[in-house]
Each structure stands twice: as C-alpha cells, then as structure tokens.
Amino acid sequence: MSTLTLRDGAEMYYKDWGTGQPIVFHHGWPLSSDDWDNQMMFFLQKGFRVIAHDRRGHGRSSQTFQGHEMDTYAADVAELAAHLDLRDAVHVGHSTGGGEVIHYVNKHGKDRVAKAVLVSAVTPMMIQSESNPDGVPASVFDEIRLMTATNRPQYFKDFTAAFYGYNREGAVEKQGVRDNWWRQGMMGSVLAHYECVKAFSATDFTEDLKNVDVPVLVLHGEDDQIVPYQITAVKAAALLKNGTLITYPGFPHGMPTTEAETINKDILAFITA
C-alpha cells in the first residue's frame, strides 16, 4: 500500500499508476480516492499517469485530530506532489476536492501545474453571508454536521439519493453506486467528516480563483442538489483569468459516476487542447 508520511506524522494513502503526463484526482466529502475509479481507468488507458489520494481523515489515510481545513489539505497535496516530483500536472477536483485543487494551485502549485478542472465544485463559496447573500443558509450545514456526528451510518445512506439524483422522477437507481458511496464514507473518520463540512462550506476561494493563471475547466450539473451551480460554477468561471464553463442540464452532483462517459470526454478534450 502506497503511503506518504506527512510533516506532522500523518500517513496519506495514494494510488500512482502509469506513465505520461500526470493527472491528480481530488475526491469530495466524505469519500476517498476510490470515487475516481471511472476516471482513473479511462485516463490510464489513454496513456496518462493517474494519481489519487485519500484526504487526511478520509479513506485509508490517518484519522488525525487536527488539520481538517483547506490550508492543511492543500499543503498535504503539495507534499505529495513534491514526493512524486509531479510536473506539468493536471489537477481534477470534485466538490470539496475542487476547493482543494484551486487552493493548492494558487498556494503551492505554480511551477508544477499545467491545468486544473473543477467538477461540481464548492468554489468560490457556499455558505450564505453578508458578502455572499445568495449562498446556502448556515442552518443547512449545521444539519449536515449534526447528522454526521450523531447518525452517520443512516444519514450517509440517505444522502446518496440526492447526491446521484436518484430521487428524481424517472431516475434509474443503481444500488451498487449507493452502497459504494456509503462504503467509502464509513471508511473515514467521523471527526474528519464533521470538521470537513466547515472546510467545504465556509472557505472563501475567491482570491484563489482570481490569482490562478493556468487554464481551468469548470464542469457542473444543472440539477446538482448538493452544490447549486448558479452560486458556484457560474461565479467561479467569472472570477478565473482563463476559465471555461460547461454546465449540463439534468446532471446531478455525482455526475463523475453517473455521467462518466460525458465528463471523461470533456476533461480529455480540455487536457489535450
């Protein structure tokens, strides 16, 4: 099992397959690198080197007491990139991972990153505030934290319905997809998942988006019930110096899984352009 010992002694689990230009995948809350199975296989077979890690407290990485915020997440990625000596890399982040990507690229990745992709990402900021009046009310995230802390096994099972759009009329539900989400979530630390809700909801990525110079592709489903695209993707693309926005009618938050063929094709076109 490939692990990296981070500066504070935490162990980060990662996968590193293939050769060629590296693509680094950053997973969403409360999942693991396994959520990128579709993309890892697709891009590996296209001749890329594919890398994915379990964020601290998630999956097979250490269940640390501290460090569950974006500065630490990005610094952890920087250590992994240095350890693997990644150059000309493309960083792809889903949901919380999108915030991690843009924060890493701005703070640490200027000499190592060629392009970035934000998929169903939480950027620039989710929570409602005076400066973000059309954001999601804080009470929504308070509820997620409460249910995660007190009823995680059942809450995670229920959460998958909206995550994949299986609660929509006519949706073709795949129980294996729901079970795999639950499996990944329950591998991680309840404390990490609780704290990560604040990290993905209350972090302001505005300056990160403004300062990133590399090309960034922003992909988002228009029927995303977890991270509404109007307050995230549309705003994020407008803040980027070199951003491209694609939105998909009817696609859910978990579209890298449910709509992998479309998402993979568009990411490939962006990388190879």
Using omega within 30 degrees of 0 as the cis cutoff, is the peptide bond preceding 30 cis? yes
Which residue of the set 35, 54, 208, 224 is catalytic? 224
Q: How far apart are CA 126 and CA 27, in angstroms?
A: 18
Say if residues 135 and 123 touch (Cβ distance below 8 Å).
Answer: no
Using DSSP's 3-state secondary structure scheme, residue 15 falls into strand
Catalytic site includes residue 253 = yes
Count of all residues that appear for the chain in the document = 273
CB atoms within 10 A of CB 37: 15
Helix H or strand E segment including 248: strand 243-248
Determine whether 33 is an active site residue.
Answer: no
Instruction: Judge whether 247 and 220 are in contact, CB under 8 Å.
Output: yes
Question: One of 103, 201, 253, 266 is an active-site residue; which one?
Answer: 253
Which neighbouring-strand residues pair with 247? 220
Identified catalytic residue from 95, 120, 189, 201: 95
Q: 7 in helix, strand or coil?
A: coil
CA 93 to chain centre: 4
Q: Is 79 exposed, middle or buried (0-12, 13-18, 19+ CB in 10 A)?
A: middle
Structure-block tokens of residue 148? 């995660």
The sign of the dihedral angle between the CA atoms of 58, 63, 65, 70 is negative
8 counts as catalytic: no
- Rounded to whole angstroms, the Cα distance separating 268 from 128 reads 34
State the catalytic residues: 95, 224, 253
